[in-house]
Amino acid sequence: MPQLNFQPDDVSVEAQAGESLLQAAVRAGIPHSQVCGGYGRCSTCRVLVQSGLEHCSPAEEAERAIAARLQFAPEIRLACLTRIGGPATVRRLVIDEEDRAITSLIGRESTMGAAGLHREVAILFADIRGFTAFSEQHSPYDVIHVLNRYFHMVNPIVEAHGGAINNYMGDGFMALFGLKDPRDLALRAVRAGWEVLEAARRHHVYVRNLYNSGFRIGVGVHVGTVVVGAVGAKSNQRLTAIGDAVNFAARIEAENKPAGTEFLVSQACYERVKDAVTPGKTVQVAIRGKTGLHPLYEVKGLVG
């Protein structure tokens, strides 16, 4: 019989012919979540196959549907619908009641998806220059109105290029490109960034006429691999990206101010878009936690 090892319990079980991972765990007295009763409807029996994935049975239709909905990586399987034909080690991913509350799909019309996976994305940061001073000089209504008008202008631009504004941070935002379609993600992000910059310039005229104040932004784009997942309590989850690439993208945007630029991209991004942009100056920056200097490239326009 195939040997099946369960983590974090460190319990080994001989899997019997035809039984699922969940059935083997229950038979061995391992506490294994199964909110839906083991019928492939809730995802709470999910496991991470740490070794022996090649010995697991192909996913059935019900499992494929949940895996697609939650964007599971191939090594995440539903224990209730997975059988093994050789040795394997799996780790239970739902350990307690809080885990069950987060992962159960029963009674929920939709899910944010992405239980956690690595994904290459283009990350765009945009931030308003000197908006704190504007906020201190004008009424709360005017502050929010100016922000909302700007965000109302830029959100359709980001979406038109296949991106999504993932997070608003005061007077700035982060947008991700490549979550659904990885094709030309860097170019789409740069094109969106340029159009956002142009929208901000138009907004500057509006703000100048009404408030006798300026409105300038900085844009930064980087391409890298991040961890993507739905974060937060289930009532207000949002899809987010976490990792060094996100921090680097934020730093790129911040470098616009000392560099006297409006739009900077990383070398990883520039190499993919250099034939489609009009370049400006190149600046060398030191990045906290990284050695050496890193080149950033100014985007002065689009070609064609």
Residue 204 falls inside a structural domain? yes
pLDDT-based confidence at 35, cuts 50/70/90? confident
* Separation of CA 152 from chain center: 22
More confident residue, 73 or 153: 153
Q: Write out 223-245 in H/E/C secondary structure.
A: EEEEEEEEECCHHHCEEEEECHH
Residue 252 falls inside a structural domain? yes
Same domain, 147 and 44: no
Domain boundary among 103, 126, 145: 103
- DSSP string of 194-215, one letter each residue: HHHHHHHHHHHHHHHHHHS---
CA dist list (Å): 42 to 9, 78, 104, 279: 22, 9, 5, 51
Strands 76-78 and 277-286, sheet pairing? unpaired
Domain boundary among 103, 130, 165: 103
Per-residue model confidence as pLDDT tens digits over 78-111: 999 999 999 999 999 888 776 666 666 555 444 4
Same domain, 285 and 176: yes
Residue 109 falls inside a structural domain? no
Residue 71 falls inside a structural domain? yes
Q: How many domains does the chain have?
A: 2
Instruction: Enumerate the H helices of the chain as residue ranges.
Output: 21-27, 61-70, 97-103, 131-137, 140-160, 185-211, 244-254, 256-259, 267-273
Whether residue 69 is predicted with pLDDT greater than 90 in this model: the reply is no
At 117 the pLDDT is: 74
Same domain, 128 and 274: yes
Residue 110 falls inside a structural domain? no
More confident residue, 36 or 52: 52
pTM of the model: 0.71
Same domain, 130 and 271: yes
Same domain, 172 and 30: no
CATH, residue 131: 3.30.70.1230
Whether residue 287 is predicted with pLDDT greater than 50 in this model: the reply is yes
Per-residue model confidence as pLDDT tens digits over 257-269: 999 999 999 999 9
Range of the domain at 145: 117-302
Residue 112 falls inside a structural domain? no
More confident residue, 35 or 253: 253
Same domain, 45 and 140: no
Same domain, 60 and 130: no
Same domain, 168 and 253: yes
Residue 49 falls inside a structural domain? yes
